[in-house]
Structure 1
């Protein structure tokens, strides 16, 4: 494992921001992401601008400390059933924060889009789809368009499903 003063530590440009926001606790994690492949680095890049990513365990702690603690079983069930944008990295489940409202509820267009896509895309492909600019959404990624044109996000998901 690298330490912060280790000269072998990767100089990946995301390392500083990820550590700053606290989404990653170990300095070596970006190196693991690079080793996992380009898709994971792209996911980190994209979601960093849309509210970031959080570990499932961190999200549960946040919800536990709020008045919404009763939502935890539903959240765990939704993650387990593939009803949310969530993907594994290094034995942890990560979730993009864009899909939640201020009360930790899942945004309806996200829930509907995931329902359309989950049989056609794996968890990493799903995460990439939500953060990739989409021509049906005027060049916006679905994670950004979910607030401005929510029904269009669902239509774009339907179109992606029909592509196969």
Structure 2
């Protein structure tokens, strides 16, 4: 069976995601069901959908709040976080005059960038902006048996990197 992958390229095609079915990620049951949104969904609706989709995987965090946590834990500061964002290592996007970080890409307490996220983001550098990367990670992907990269990344980061490479090839040729 030949699947033609479809990748989300803008907020207009963002998926609205609502809670529903269960999946196991890293030995933990995660609840998540994709429900396609109307093409006329506003960015606000898409943000709420993205927030819901990523909640089981750490959710979203304001950049300023993350910087404060890094300082409190002695793992960095505002400048080191800004460098990671500007270099493209760390996914971030703007919504409602704040910058947001999808938390799934960070390791629990240390808040170090996980290698799986780093690999996939490296494949998609220059292809998607932070918003589109966040949507890509939350969108079911045919290269991952219709599971979203965020659902698979803990158990098979190489498969997610391969899916990112395929997305880059489809978009860039």
Structure with the higher helix share, 1 or 2: 1
Q: Which whole-Å CA distance do the structure 2 matches of 1:106 and 1:48 have between them?
A: 18
Unmatched 5+ stretches in structure 2? 1-17, 19-40
| RMSD (Å), alpha carbons | 1.9
Contact 1:118-1:126 within 8 A present in 2 as well = no
Q: 2:162 maps to what in 1?
A: 155
Q: Which ranges of 4 or more aligned residues in structure 1 deviate by more than 6 Å?
A: none
- Given candidates 84, 88, 101, the residue that maps to 2:107 is 101
Contact 1:112-1:154 within 8 A present in 2 as well = yes
Q: 2:71 maps to what in 1?
A: 64
Instruction: Give the TM-score taking structure 2 as reference length.
Output: 0.69
Deviations 1:61-103 (A, max 9, x none): 111111313x653321111222222110122110111100021
Structure 1 SS opposite 2:113? coil
Structure 2 SS opposite 1:156? helix
Contact 1:88-1:94 within 8 A present in 2 as well = yes
- Higher RCO (C-alpha 8 Å, min separation 6): 2
Unmatched 5+ stretches in structure 1? 1-13, 15-33
Instruction: Give the TM-score taking structure 1 as reference length.
Output: 0.72
Q: 1:19 maps to what in 2?
A: none
Q: 2:46 maps to what in 1?
A: 39
Equivalent residues in 2 for 1:48-59, closer than 5 Å: 48-59=55-66
Contact 2:92-2:101 within 8 A present in 1 as well = yes
Contact 2:54-2:60 within 8 A present in 1 as well = yes
Structure with the higher strand share, 1 or 2: 2
Contact 2:52-2:59 within 8 A present in 1 as well = no
Larger radius of gyration: 1
